[in-house]
Structure 1
């Protein structure tokens, strides 16, 4: 995994805005940033109840809470005033909801992202970093397509920003273990309430990343970004059947398994780089960086002298090493995901 630099001096005194800051990632990121010597952290979201909960949880004078929606450009502009770093995590994320409410998702994930870009550029923040997902790679569902569009918008902003100083980059990773709406808390809730779990296909594979690893990737990207990059971690994956078996062995309650049809837009295996993106990606010890297809080799050698081209054909959850059932049990216990 990417590791952050030990001194973290880049964050000293910085004013940071997190869009969608009351979500699972935003909450964990806020806690991480408060451990550093930041100036202020502005939490921008639509959820007043979660903002109150965060304020009570952290009780830190460096926090500011702003009600707003990334669809509202003028409200967003006020939120970005005097900000150094914008972390764009706001999105509508649930795949089935996106399939049945397509334009609402487009208005938030695409139009809202362009608003973030425009306002960050106008206010000349130092860096604007977007949080993306493996579903953006060869997208099968609308949610993935909107996240791919977001990535393209952010990377292209480096071309049309003119003389403005703002850098635009992205991070892309798989589902965070235990994040809101993901499979682990869903299974645990089903076990506790119904004594049954619903599963589409036990041979499905998914990338595995913990919240701590996701946070390290984000902070690394902030420290290392030169603009134009999509930062991608090196991850292992797990087979869904191994996850179910690990939960069975950890659970104090017996439960059954029920197979159900796959959800609209659901993939058997997830991708973090497809066979075309591999040609524009470079490898480091702890991860990969995807660059625009028009990025010049001369610029690449200058900016990334220690990089090397990728040798693999595709970066997919069924092509990387799988975490064993026993390893999954250790991870689940460590993070207190036990039924």
Structure 2
């Protein structure tokens, strides 16, 4: 409509309100409806005429018809109140004070109040309708309905943060405290957790938000287990130590990770051990852009080293970790030095260590994805074993005080190249330490870390988002899991306890069956498992078969004689090794096989060097297989 036409419509509405409010004022005064014209009830006409003559010019002067109603707010309502206040004074003076024959004097007091209510309501309704507020209400009604588990401070802050959320709608609280059940908090009822099955139906709840940041991991695990049969999506706030100071935000919510299901309480770090090899010293981290390497750098920076040297052969990974750590430098006076280098490049390693003379080296650089290394075995051996030996020898030559190798549980009775290469690296460090090197060599062995590259958790989560199926290599496969920050802290503390040649093993807790993990992730996403018994389910689990070199069960110890240390989660293993002089001779022959790209001879020699190595697959090196395929027609022709 043209602007003038819109203004005329609003003017007509206000005129109509003037008439209606006079009529209603008569009813309130006389207790009966009166006719607006005609004998003998013609008196209301004068009251109506006075209202129109006074109100409409005042409204025009005060800009009532220049406002855009869909955007009118508090300021527009203030204008309405001011204008009608002036109108009330004039109208009351005329009707009540002076008086008009046949018009009750109280009409001059009642009608302005009714007009204020009518005009104010008309503006509010116009803003609600034209401004789309009713659409927002409809959208809010269609949002997923959620319950907040925990009516404490975090729960209240989360509910307040979500009051205008366009992602989900809070319909109530749940809390373990039975004294709160049945009460109302900020307009939302507090229910018992035992009512959740019925609430899913009555309130149409699809998600439960855990707002219990101070609860122990064991208690969180119990709550999650109780909600599994209900098939609601569960999301959680981080723990108290992870939450920043201040209010809780919706962005703090995250999906459940396996660390919410481990059921083990983290042990507070020993700050003396954390700082022993770092504070005020020059620290070098290889593989600084990787999952463990980058977390090591974060933890190291907190303990105030003099300088932190970041080494990685991936330009992008090095850039990313350097940018992240640089943003934290206001909290630390450490000097950050990003260095592109390969651990296999002896001259580059010597050049770096001679320039900065590091006190401590954390060697995290490794190819660790089992199937990829199995398909590229020569590169895996060169990087994981030969690269480690190269860096270790240069470190000993340059007088590095402490050298810590990040190892893996796959080094125990390995069935794959990745594990065998890491065990060979361990043996080399043990032999160098036994030889009497000034450098204290140690290695820290642990299992899978959550969130690392290649981890099953983000893979499973993406498969759930995509509607499945979840792909699993074997129904009985199990793995140890630990969070990356906890693993990095324990690596630093273990290295500080080293005396030379130590093989430290981290207590990973109980192993997790990956089939159970997949099932839990499906159920805690509010979905159901699809199998033969439940063909109508949402997400299926597809068994794809073990990949080359993959084991069903991982181990942390070769022998059965771990020794405790001063830290409850760090054990010390006694592992056999080959003395350095004998090992060095075998390594020369081994390197010759690598240089010749002879995969078969390399695997045979690896089996001789690494006790317990038993490959469970044939040669699957992509290059070797392609060369064999090209050579087959020639052999057949001959």
TM-score exceeds 0.5: yes
Q: Where does residue 329 of structure 1 map in the other structure?
A: none
CA distance in 2, matches of 1:39, 1:257: 50
Instruction: Find 1:288's aligned residue among 571, 578, 592.
Output: 571
Q: Where does residue 525 of structure 2 map in the other structure?
A: 251
Q: Where does residue 159 of structure 1 map in the other structure?
A: 434
CA distance in 1, matches of 2:305, 2:315: 24
Once the 2 structures are TM-superposed, how far is the Cα of residue 252 of structure 1 from its aligned partner?
A: 5.2
Q: After alignment, is 130-139 or 230-239 more displaced?
A: 230-239
Kept in 1, the 8 Å contact 2:490–2:570? The answer is no
Once the 2 structures are TM-superposed, how far is the Cα of residue 113 of structure 1 from its aligned partner?
A: 0.9
Kept in 2, the 8 Å contact 1:2–1:233? The answer is no
Once the 2 structures are TM-superposed, how far is the Cα of residue 124 of structure 1 from its aligned partner?
A: 0.7
Q: 1:2 to 1:246 in 2, by over 3 A?
A: same
Kept in 2, the 8 Å contact 1:173–1:272? The answer is yes
Once the 2 structures are TM-superposed, how far is the Cα of residue 80 of structure 1 from its aligned partner?
A: 2.2
Gaps of 5+ in 2: 1-265, 528-537, 578-638
Once the 2 structures are TM-superposed, how far is the Cα of residue 200 of structure 1 from its aligned partner?
A: 1.5
Q: Where does residue 32 of structure 1 map in the other structure?
A: 299
Matches within 5 A, 1:175-186: 175-186=448-459
Q: After alignment, is 232-241 or 68-77 more displaced?
A: 232-241
Are 2:350 and 1:72 aligned?
no
Higher relative contact order (Cα pairs below 8 Å, separated by 6+ residues): 1
Q: 1:197 to 1:292 in 2, by over 3 A?
A: closer
Kept in 2, the 8 Å contact 1:27–1:54? The answer is yes
Once the 2 structures are TM-superposed, how far is the Cα of residue 198 of structure 1 from its aligned partner?
A: 0.3
Instruction: Find 2:423's aligned residue among 133, 148, 164.
Output: 148
CA distance in 1, matches of 2:298, 2:405: 19
Q: Where does residue 263 of structure 1 map in the other structure?
A: 547
Kept in 2, the 8 Å contact 1:45–1:68? The answer is yes
CA distance in 1, matches of 2:539, 2:570: 38
Are 2:519 and 1:238 aligned?
no
Once the 2 structures are TM-superposed, how far is the Cα of residue 266 of structure 1 from its aligned partner?
A: 0.9
Kept in 2, the 8 Å contact 1:2–1:217? The answer is no
Q: Where does residue 66 of structure 2 map in the other structure?
A: none
Kept in 1, the 8 Å contact 2:505–2:556? The answer is yes
Give per-residue Cα distances to partners, 1:268-296, cap 9 Å, x unaligned: 1111113xx224x32344332013448xx
Once the 2 structures are TM-superposed, how far is the Cα of residue 3 of structure 1 from its aligned partner?
A: 5.7
From the two aligned structures, give the one with the greater helix fraction.
2
CA distance in 1, matches of 2:425, 2:311: 19
Q: 1:2 to 1:74 in 2, by over 3 A?
A: farther
Kept in 1, the 8 Å contact 2:494–2:570? The answer is no
Q: CA RMSD in A?
A: 1.9
Once the 2 structures are TM-superposed, how far is the Cα of residue 212 of structure 1 from its aligned partner?
A: 2.3
Q: Where does residue 557 of structure 2 map in the other structure?
A: 273
Q: What TM-score, normalized by structure 1, do the two folds share?
A: 0.80
Once the 2 structures are TM-superposed, how far is the Cα of residue 91 of structure 1 from its aligned partner?
A: 0.9
Are 2:6 and 1:6 aligned?
no
Once the 2 structures are TM-superposed, how far is the Cα of residue 193 of structure 1 from its aligned partner?
A: 3.6
Helix, strand or coil: the match of 1:169? strand
Helix, strand or coil: the match of 1:180? coil
Kept in 2, the 8 Å contact 1:45–1:66? The answer is yes
Matches within 5 A, 1:208-219: 208-219=481-492
CA distance in 1, matches of 2:267, 2:556: 15
Give per-residue Cα distances to partners, 1:57-92, cap 9 Å, x unaligned: 221362110001011011111222310001111111
From the two aligned structures, give the one with the greater strand fraction.
1
Once the 2 structures are TM-superposed, how far is the Cα of residue 179 of structure 1 from its aligned partner?
A: 1.1
Helix, strand or coil: the match of 2:317? helix
Give per-residue Cα distances to partners, 1:184-228, cap 9 Å, x unaligned: 112122223453210022221111211122112211112211111
Matches within 5 A, 1:95-106: 95-106=370-381
Kept in 2, the 8 Å contact 1:126–1:167? The answer is yes
Kept in 2, the 8 Å contact 1:134–1:174? The answer is yes
CA distance in 1, matches of 2:306, 2:511: 37
Kept in 2, the 8 Å contact 1:19–1:43? The answer is yes
Helix, strand or coil: the match of 1:151? helix
Q: Where does residue 334 of structure 1 map in the other structure?
A: none
Once the 2 structures are TM-superposed, how far is the Cα of residue 5 of structure 1 from its aligned partner?
A: 2.3
